[in-house]
Amino acid sequence: MAHAYTSPSQPAQVLMSPTKTSSIVHIIDDDEAVRNSISMLLSVEGFKTKEFSSAIEFLENYHDQPGCIVTDVEMPSMTGLELQKKLQDKNIHIPVIFITGQGNIAMSVKAMKYGAIDFLEKPFINKDLMQSVRSALEIDNQARELKISQQQIKQRFELLTEREKHVLLMLTKDHAKLTNKDIAKELSISKRTVEVHRSSVMAKMLAQTRAELVELSKLCDLSNFN
């Protein structure tokens, strides 16, 4: 799991990490009894839930809240698999768990190919659903923490001058093998100037070591800043 690099001196915008208590399990099924049953089952275990009678209703009301989806496959207007494809088209990355009473191998393979967390056949075992939901929420939480870390690193990167950005690139390229003298030659500046820029880069990026700077660069692909 990626580390969320934070510091009191980071840029003014504060990006809050999602918590599991804020996560919502979105239950989508055209059968009200099934929705209510799943919602009650999850609520007893402490999960927050929201119910939707169709995939379309879910799309109209979803605003990138932390959580996961538990959805039926066969539904009128839009199937669960069509919903999954629609989410991908909209670049919405929320873990999906499918439940179905008419599952087959081809259907489950397609769902898993497009990133489904699990594919459960009705009647499913309660503990299997619980385990899938916990896994889905953990995956979502980690993905959101990674996104926040990347945003924070990019904010710091934007504080660098153009010359400092080039020095950072030199410090992190070729497995961080270039010396200050090598970098000075590459950029046609003095070794002392490289040392000054290097110190500024480390401070602004909140990196304690060169290895940490390399890690930050890889996490956000900072080598492609041009």
Q: 31 and 137 share a domain?
A: yes
Distance CA 60, CA 202 (A): 44
pLDDT of 11 over the 50 cut: no
Q: 108 and 170 share a domain?
A: no
Domains of the chain: total? 2
Last residue of a domain, one of 85, 113, 146: 146
Burial class (CB within 10 angstroms; exposed 0-12, middle 13-18, buried 19+) of 41: middle
Q: 101 and 184 share a domain?
A: no
- pTM summary value: 0.78
Distance CA 163, CA 165 (A): 5
Q: How confident is the model at residue 2 (pLDDT cuts 50, 70, 90)?
A: very low
The boundaries of the domain holding residue 99 are: 20-146
Asked if residue 95 is part of any domain, the answer here is yes
Q: 123 and 24 share a domain?
A: yes
Q: What's the start-to-end Cα distance of the chain, in Å?
A: 28
Q: How confident is the model at residue 211 (pLDDT cuts 50, 70, 90)?
A: very high
Asked if residue 14 is part of any domain, the answer here is no
- At 25, phi and psi to the nearest 5? -95, 110
Helices 105-113 & 80-89 angle (0-180, nearest 10): 20
Q: Residue 135 sits in a domain of what CATH number? A: 3.40.50.2300
Query: How much is the mean pLDDT over the chain?
Result: 88
Q: 29 and 139 share a domain?
A: yes
More confident residue, 211 or 19: 211
pLDDT of 14 over the 70 cut: no
Supply the pLDDT for residue 103.
Answer: 67
pLDDT of 110 over the 90 cut: no
- Taking only the tens place, the pLDDT of each residue in 25-60 is 999 999 999 999 999 999 999 999 999 999 999 999
Asked if residue 13 is part of any domain, the answer here is no
pLDDT of 3 over the 80 cut: no
